[in-house]
Structures are given as C-alpha cells and as structure tokens.
C-alpha cells in the first residue's frame, strides 16, 4: 500500500490528459469548481485556441468561462507537479500514454483512467513495468465517464448530462480506500467497486456502441451518418442482439467473482431509464435525444470498443472457460468489415499482464498486486476455444 494521503496532494493542480469531448468537459468542469487544471492533448493544433486563451467555455448543465492553468502538448509540463492525473482518451491510447508518462511520473501521484474500458488499468500497469517506471503511484480505473458531453466549437464544450455515480477501483484493490479518499476532493460522484475486474468487465460502451454501428454500416457509408445512434440505430431487433451480448458479458463477470450489473440495470441506475426491455429503456433516456451517429465507420464506437472492450472480455471468458459466441461473432464481423485482426491488435492477456495466470491468480493479482499462481500451456486454451477469424 502506498503512503499517499489527501494532505500530500492538497493544493496541487489536476492534470487532464485528452483534449476531446471528454477531456475538455472535465477540464472545464473542474476549473469552474476552482481547481487549477493542466490540459494536455497530443496534437496541439486541436487545442490551439484553448491554449492561446487558456480557457474553455462550458455550457449545458453547468455554464461559465473556465480558466485553465495551462493547455499543452508537452506531457512533462502537464503532469509534473500534478497531484491527480485523469486520462480521458480513447482506450486504445492507454499504452501510448503509459509509455510517454513513465519517465515523468513521481511518487505520490494519483493516475485515474476515465474510463479504463476493459483491462485498462492492467495494461497501463504492465506498460509502466515494461518501461521501468518505479514511481510509487496509485493507479485507478473508472467504469465510465462522468458526463455526456460534446464539443460545440474550438473553445466551447457542452455538458448535457452528469451521471449520478461512476464506479472506480484501484489496481491493486488494496489501495481502494486511499483512492476514494483522494477522489472525494473532486466535485464528482464516485462509488467504490470491488476491483478493476468489476469496473473493466462492466464495460457498457462495448455493449451499446459497436454492434449498432457495424449493423448500420451501409447507412453510414451512403449517408455519412445523420441519424440518432441510440434511438434509431438500436431498433427492437438490434436491442435483442445486444441483450444476448450483455448476457455473455455477465457470465464472464460471474466467473471472476464479480457481481455484475446488467445493461438494463446500469441504464436504470445511471440515467433513471424506464422499461422492461433494452429498447424501452434506451428510448426513455432524454440524454440520448440529441446524440447523433458516427459520420463514418472510422469511429471509436468500433475502433475503441471492439479492441479494448469486446476482445478482452472474450479473452477473459476463454481463460475462465466461458464461451462467448455472440461476442465472438461481432468481433469477427468487425475484423472482416475493417480488414483488421482485432483479436491480435486488441487487448490480450499478455497486454494486461495476466498471461499464464489462472482465474484465481487473476483475482489475486487485481486485489493484492501479486502474480503468484500461474498455469502453463496457454496455447492449449487457444486451441480449445479458438476465436480468431478463419480466413480459409
């Protein structure tokens, strides 16, 4: 357990890494609440006006001109001296960020992946190990992002919904109490999860995003989007398919001693959704009224949620002996549609630092940080539960 305390980070800036819809909303929100905020984006040209005026206009559920401490594409400038570092980027970039941050992290910092998707904290920790980062930090993972937000223009972001609560956990879970004490500094509502298996396998984006997008491929390419992803893309038939995918996710969660929240339960909990079916719940959520669709297939709804959501869930299922035929079908369809082997480019057990562990060993690792129990012959698992795209 680390020696980080609330007092040790009091008065330090908060670093928000990622200048997209989520990062801008979070940076602006925190700044309006009086925090000194460093905003980082890999491409400076995407935040040029924000960097020049060091402010973001926030509209929607909270409004005001949020003044930033700095907006930069210099990772060291963004995180040096920060007490809390929140990473709000597409999850496939987590490995890149861990690699770039490794030389600059210092003991006593909090790093929160928001969200981590599935296996984010495990992949991040494994990457820090590979790059010999010995800083004594607390690494946490959020199950989802706290807002529904959208960029309005170069300097304006809209927050249309603030979720009632977001579950978080540290890796290892033995740091959970300290993590929660630190996060209570922030004007956001967090709820403690058992461990990062809970936050990771409860990946709601992987349920709601890729399947409707893939099934609307013809509409996307012919019309360049222009419809509501949730209210139009998720029809009654698509809803039933997503419910089957969610059922497989729940079985995988149960295999790792996670008490899973079904997709319907999550929508009811997070948005106050009403209805007995997924279709009914989706249509009852006002926050989804103005959510458009991707304008092309090159969108994070597939390019993020398949490799960092469906793929690691399927790999975890394989390790536990839980078959996921519907999830596998969606992944395979995405592989063929995009001509990308998501099975190998997505998060594998090796990426997450748990290759060779038993289910019990994985649970022990996420709770204590120890990788003690290993099994050999992972190739045998691949032979028995082969899920790659068959090109023959």
| Helices of type H across the chain | 6-9, 21-32, 48-53, 75-79, 94-101, 120-130, 176-183, 196-201, 204-208, 210-215, 217-223, 236-255, 263-271, 278-283, 300-303, 311-320, 325-338, 342-345, 359-368, 378-384
Catalytic residue check, 209: yes
Q: What is the DSSP letter of 374?
A: B
Q: CB neighbours of 74 closer than 8 A, spacing ≥ 6?
A: 40
Nearest in space to 204 (alpha carbons), one of 117, 295, 333, 100: 117
Q: Which tokens hold the place of 100?
A: 């770039």
| Separation between Cα atoms, residue 113 and residue 136, nearest integer Å | 17
Give yes or no for a contact between 202 and 253, defined as CB atoms under 8 angstroms apart: yes
Which residue among the candidates 94, 195, 202, 209 is catalytic per the annotation? 209
Catalytic annotation, pick one of 246, 305, 328, 351: 305
DSSP string, 22-73: HHHHHHHHHHHTT--EEEE-S-GGGGHHHHHHTEEEEEESS-EEEEPSEEES
Active site residues: 209, 305
């Amino acid at each position: 357990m680390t020696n980080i305390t609330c007092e040790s980070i009091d008065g330090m800036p908060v670093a928000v890494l990622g200048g997209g819809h989520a990062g801008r909303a979070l940076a602006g929100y925190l700044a309006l609440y009086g925090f000194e905020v460093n905003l980082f984006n890999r491409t400076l040209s995407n935040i040029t006006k924000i960097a020049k005026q060091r402010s973001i206009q926030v509209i929607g559920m909270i409004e005001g001109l949020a003044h930033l401490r700095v907006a930069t594409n210099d990772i060291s400038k963004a995180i040096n001296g920060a007490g809390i570092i929140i990473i709000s980027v597409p999850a496939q970039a987590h490995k890149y960020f861990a690699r770039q941050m490794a030389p600059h992290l210092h003991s006593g910092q909090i790093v929160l992946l928001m969200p981590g998707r599935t296996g984010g904290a495990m992949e991040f920790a494994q990457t820090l190990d590979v790059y010999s980062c010995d800083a004594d930090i607390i690494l946490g993972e959020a199950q989802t992002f706290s807002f529904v937000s959208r960029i309005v223009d170069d300097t304006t972001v809209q927050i249309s919904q603030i979720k009632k609560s977001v579950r978080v956990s540290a890796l290892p879970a033995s740091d959970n109490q300290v993590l929660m004490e630190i996060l209570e500094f922030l004007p956001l509502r967090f709820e403690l999860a058992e461990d990062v298996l809970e936050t990771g396998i409860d990946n709601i984006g992987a349920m709601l995003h890729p399947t409707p997008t893939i099934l609307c491929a013809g509409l996307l390419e012919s019309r360049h989007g222009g419809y509501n992803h949730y209210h139009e893309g998720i029809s009654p038939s698509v809803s039933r398919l997503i419910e089957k995918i969610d059922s497989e996710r729940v079985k995988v969660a149960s295999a790792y001693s996670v008490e899973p929240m079904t997709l319907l339960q999550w929508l009811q909990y997070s948005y106050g959704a009403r209805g007995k079916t997924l279709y009914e719940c989706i249509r009852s959520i006002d926050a989804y009224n103005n959510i458009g669709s991707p304008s092309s297939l090159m969108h994070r709804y597939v390019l993020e949620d398949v490799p960092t959501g469906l793929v690691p869930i399927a790999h975890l299922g394989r390790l536990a002996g839980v078959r996921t035929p519907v999830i596998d079908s969606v992944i395979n369809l995405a592989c063929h549609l995009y001509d990308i082997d998501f099975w190998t480019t997505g998060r594998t057990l090796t990426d997450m630092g748990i290759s060779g562990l038993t289910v019990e060993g994985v649970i022990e690792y996420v709770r204590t940080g120890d990788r003690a129990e290993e099994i050999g012959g992972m190739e045998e698992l691949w032979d028995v539960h082969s899920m790659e795209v068959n090109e023959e």
